[in-house]
Structure 1
Amino acid sequence: MSDTVLPTPLLEVLPNTFLKCEFLHPGRSHKARVARALIDDAEQHGMIARGGRTALIERTGGNLGIGLAIEAKARGHELVLVTDPGYSKIKKEIAARLGAKVIDRGVTYPGCADNEAAVQLILRSTPGRFHYLNQFGNPANPAAHEQGTGAEILAQLIGRGYGRNTRVTLVSGLGTGATARGVSSALRHWFREVAVIGVEPPDCDLKADRHGSHGLQGFAVGQPAPFFPSGELDQIVPVTDAEVAAAGTRLFQEHRMFVGPTSCANFAVVLKTIPVSAEDVLISFLYDRGEDYE
């Protein structure tokens, strides 16, 4: 399938400090790239066919759910999303309006401990009915960010004149870790030094793989990031709820950008990690739109 309205802008918000504006992607977030890649991979490997009887299933109610709903509707695939009350009601409503069947695990499968358990129960009870896209275990996920998001950022930085000796620091939250893995891999094709800083939500300890309850949907989701173990991070920077709110206010006042909480958390860490010289570049992401949250 051909891409449309790409690449997304790389905005310089401070000297040598850039935010990749993924909330302007036609699929509404960075996860739209993953949605396309996961379905492309399934089609190319003969796991599903357009107009066929095999439906798609994934555990998500957030940005990936919307991206998958867009791709599934455009290609004529049936899609089931397994989610829970912790996800944005607005995002779940958007996915449903786009044709996805959204299942609330807590209502439909109260005996399942988590969304993965619910997906496995569905797969066992209806053998052959679904193809599980499995964002947490599918290598097409980080590949989408290496070949898409990361390749775009690399081209944009080279186009601005940054040479191979530029020291690049990437600020990213970790859910699956696919964004951090894919983008950092792409940047290392050119830049000799690339560091990755992890954003640590309130009440979490990424080094200890402790994921507490917090409001940053998609970060520290209750399990270690499979594609980017926390031990590989060069640094971990915690954020508070107050810092996230202040960063969101600054983004809106200075750039008229209304983005989601995880984007604000990234920017909060960026503000703590200003480049120290002209040879240092800092990159982070504005993932999604503020209006997609309650």
Structure 2
Amino acid sequence: YNQLSGTVPSWAKDSQLNLVTNNFVADSSSNSVLPTGWGCLQRNTPCFLGSPQSSSFAVDSGSRRPVSGSDNSFYESDDASLGPASFYVTGAQTWGVSNVGRFMDAQNGSYIIYSSRQFLNTLDTELFRNARMSPSSLRYFGIGLENGNYTVTLQFAEFDFPDGQSWKSTGRRVFDIYVQGVRKEQNFDIRKTAGGKSYTAVRKQYIVPVTKNFLEIHLFWAGKGTCCIPTQGYYGPAISALSATPNFTPTVRNAAAKKNGSKTGMIVGVIVGLAVLGLVAFAAIFVWRQKKRKLSLEQEGMGYTRTTLYSN
């Protein structure tokens, strides 16, 4: 985040080296030593700049499988293992996620949390069973988006601060929310926003511009709230799901839609091919049976003629 520029030296091979949101130039040497997609997460990203490939994306943070939401969005899974300084970009390079920070006094601090509870104030409990957590800085990126205004929806729910009067209920998770570099929420407290209740969904929506085919959502812990309730290393930003949808009529199809369309076309092609093959086989069998029947009748006629001649 230091506005660094130039090329990445060949010795930079550490998978826990987070160089996102700088101004590095991706070349063949850096692409060979750094994780795939890192160049797409530079501020002057070369990925699909001026050539958009999608007009929306949705992510179920921490989930191992995709989920279809009640808002008709298809939430992709997000179970990449991120450490203190790492990032992940999808194979289709439509979105990415980045984490920076190590949990204090918690060597085994979890970056993904899970709950089997039912969640209130939502039709999509499945979206809230997992959440991605960070001790400092958590960013999501939309890559190759068509330029225009978007509605960004962020969904949260607090997990482990129980409702009631126990000491565990005094925990507070506080962080800031930035979208496209603009602070949208300061000292955001999930549980407080939910009326002091845990396991209750909270949605935040913002209309933001995309001008360089790139969207950045940044959740940042500024050292506020509690750090050790109910356990050591339970603090920092956390999010359950997010999505970005266009406030305009798109001119490009999403990569996922293209992929699904290709699969659909393939399936239709196979079905049509099998149908045609079946018709050809049926026709061949019909013709063969007709010829067999005709031959049988001819043979019967010849036998009848021979019998008649012999009788005479």
TM-score range, shorter chain: under 0.3
Larger helix share, 1 or 2:
1
* Structure that is richer in strand per residue: 2
Q: Pick the structure with greater CA Rg.
A: 2
